[in-house]
Chains A and B, each alone.
Chain A
Amino acid sequence: MPWNKEGGGGNQGPGGQGPWGQGPRGPLGGNRGPNPPDLEELIRRFQETLKNFLPSGGKAGWLLPLVLLGAFWLYNAIYTVQADELGVVLRLGKYDRTTNPGLHYILWPAETVETPKALSENIMTFGISGDSRDPNAEGLMLAGDQNIVDIEFTVLWRISDPRAYLFNVQNPEELLRVVAESAMREYVGRSRAEEVRTRGREAAQVAVQKLIQDTLVAYRAGISITGVQLNKAEPPEPVMDAFAEVNRAQQDSASQVNKATQYAFQRQGQANGEAAKIRQDADGYKGRIVAEAQGEAQRFSAVYDQYKNAKAVTRRRLYIETIESILGGSKKVIIEQGAGGPGVIPYLPLPELSPSASKGAPQ
């Protein structure tokens, strides 16, 4: 009995019978209150009471069953609505009033009450293995681009209209389940898988919530959807690795680019360093050559100043000193070249080898 399972009318009495007696589609048994009395049982008990008390006779014998009956009536007439429930009272099967949490009474047996959990929020999950009849299939949804997405989502819902919830739809919770799944599949079927998995999550939640809500309003199911949460939207298990491969490729690619950037920085530093060295060397050369030139020039100036005073002497001295310096440290062969002297046949082009002959002493 669906509404019992859902806590909608969850007041199964000792008789163990649901509101419809034999099930949702069974004969109309009338909907009973907190303790649906079985009339046969009642009569049998009453007969027993009679049997027990009548033979003894006396006025007290009649009083006791009356007290028992009164107690039994009170037990059935008084009911509690828990903090998260609302009480829906039917008088002779017809809706009469809705009561808030607290202690109330009904005019039993003319009135009956049901207490759906109308004030609490309920959670329904989809796509978790073992949760559905077909655990492998529930979460796998075909997207508009014919890719498959593994979806797990949660619907938060509450009873917005207890009367509609109880009396308009036979199995509201199961209805909500099929409507919600259908809505999510419809939305995913219209979208691209990539979209649902990544940027489109928020949009999916909003759209699916609206889709479910609109459908339930059309069915007057008395349910309002307070939220749709997309917990998981991933590629299906068999292609997981291929998607991971994409991630790996992204990381590889990034690391390669990083390495290249690193190389570029190194190269730049190297270039700047070497360039600076070349410039410094050149500046050094410039400085050196200028300084040398200055030194040499001044030396010449100094020598020239003296030379001006005694030109011939200085000139000769310089010449002799130079030749002396040259010849001082080298091997020398001196050949007398007289007309009848002991001749050596010069077979080398000597004049070219002798500086004093070519330059110092022109003939």
Chain B
Amino acid sequence: MALVDWSRAQFALTALYHWLFVPLTLGTSFIIAIMETIYVKTGEEIWKRITKFWMTLFGINFAIGVATGIILEFEFGTNWSNYSWFVGDIFGAPLAIEGIMAFFMESTFIAVMFFGWNKVSKGFHLASSWLVAIGSNLSALWILVANAWMQDPVGMRFNPDTARNEMVNFWDVLLSPTAVNKFLHTISSAYTYSALFVIGVSAWYLLKKRNVLFFKKSMLVAATFGLAASIYMVLTGDESARQVFRTQPMKFAAMEGLYQGETNAPLVAIGIMGQTPNDENSKNNEWLTKIEIPNMLSYMAALDPHAFVPGVFDLVNGNKEQGIPSYYDKIKMGKKAIKALAMYKKATKSGNTQEAGDNLKTFKENYKYFGYGYYDNPNDLIPDVPLTFYSFHTMVGLGMLFLLIFIFTLIYTVKNKIDRKRWLLYVALWSIPLGLIAQESGWIVAELGRQPWVVQDYMPTLTAVSNINHTSVIITFVLFTVTFTVLLIAELKIMLKQIKGFNDGGH
């Protein structure tokens, strides 16, 4: 494996590991705040015990997840130095705000949340619980804004003297449709997963016929929260996909397994891909089997059932009828931009202002496709279509399943029949790992689907990597794998012990 592959593998491993814990923090913090609100409003002690139980699990998850994100920042500076420099102050401001928010809001009020029972007023304790929830979600906002900028770079200007992107409009970056949709979809998916976790753990207790009333009440809150979250997750997911269609059409084509573009494009709801077609005239059997919904892809992409949805080959070869430039044209412009930047730098150093001016003009005219200039073969600009397709469809399919789980759980909990529906309790229990699979699949779509780009259209992953000895990357990759696996096992044992050993004081 090349240096860039080891660096990518390391980042993927640490990011996937980090994302095992973050969704639970984001979502259970709100579930706990809701449970505590019910306690304060009703005064019923059982709700206090319910809040404290889930708060302990929240705390365990929070502690397990501590510092897992820091490693990613280390990797920016060591393995991805060109990228870190290139993104300049786009990332600096959001990540700094994330750190400040995490420190002040979460850390301060988490102490009150855990240590403040019977020491502070009910109102102050409740406010602290809500502020922990809000604080953790606001922390997530900033890193998601940064990631959204990678997918859809806006609000910046590239400085050819410093090789840095400089933020020219903070609000363009913060409020870009990509950033807004990414944030809302990510947090709603985290809330969905957290609700699944609460329902799953509660289901285990109901299957064992232990602490039945306690966990029925927990389920009621989680199912209601989860249903609202999953509906919103579907809506924001739909809007996010439309955003991807507009700003990352190749990723969209990969998500849908679409090689040949068409109007009235059908949606492949379920499919097993066959041989990858080599070009638009290929006779390869793209699909072994599929279930399609006519016109649906056009409608979902552009809210028009007759809209043209470009496929992989339309983007690579261009489509004059649809006004789509080819990757061949973009590559030509990109090469001009790269050459012009190099010549501009040379001319500036030698004091040749005329030549510097001419090259700067050429650079600015062609900068839009800068990243394409690194490639000779447009096929190298296509992400892994099958992996993107399957990850996307796994995520969507599971999301729909979770919606059904919440509906049935809520109905049977309200009817007080949930403990008799053992089939549903088993489904709920097994939905915990399925929720994790959905979460990680979503990130695979987002990050693998954007390849070869690390900053869409401007910087491919290959140029982002530091020129370091790849033995050190291999060593740290192995170190991470071993250390984090050992820590994860230890941490999960603590979590499982806490879950299994709970007894609601004989109530």
A and B from one assembly?
A: no
Binding site for B on A (CB under 8 A): none
Binding site for A on B (CB under 8 A): none
